[in-house]
């Protein structure tokens, strides 16, 4: 969480993207973005394929804004977690916002 905010309006029709490698445990993940508490998006379920290969995960920014994110004052660009906190391990890389 940052004490300053960023306006991501340039990405409103784009995507939040990352590379994810599932290591072990259940492969059910969620993500959200924050826009200064109590403002946040809903928890978005990620579509991750079984296996341990690196994969690209893309979430439309509209999924965040439609569920409460104020795209003009984002202060946390990624909150990601395993839905089942029991032994899930994963790696992430290349987290970014992409314009459409």
- Residue 52 confidence class, pLDDT cut points 50, 70, 90: confident
**DSSP classification of residue 41:** P
Is 35 a residue whose pLDDT tops 70? yes
| Beta carbons within 10 angstroms of residue 30's beta carbon | 14
pLDDT of residue 40: 94
CA distance 4 to 92: 24
Beta strands 29-34 and 44-46, pairing class: antiparallel
Within 10 angstroms of residue 43's Cβ, the number of other Cβ atoms is 12
Give residue limits of the domains in the chain: 9-98
pLDDT of 1 strictly over 70: no
């Amino acid at each position: 969480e940052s004490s300053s905010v960023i306006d991501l309006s340039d990405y409103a029709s784009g995507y939040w993207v990352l590379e994810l490698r599932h290591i072990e445990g259940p492969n059910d993940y969620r993500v959200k973005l924050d826009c200064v508490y109590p403002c946040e998006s809903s928890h978005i379920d990620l579509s991750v394929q079984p296996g341990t290969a690196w994969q690209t995960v893309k979430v439309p920014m509209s999924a965040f804004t439609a569920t409460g994110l104020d795209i003009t004052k984002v202060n946390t660009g990624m909150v990601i977690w395993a839905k089942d906190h029991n032994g899930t391990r994963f790696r992430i890389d290349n987290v970014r916002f992409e314009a459409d």
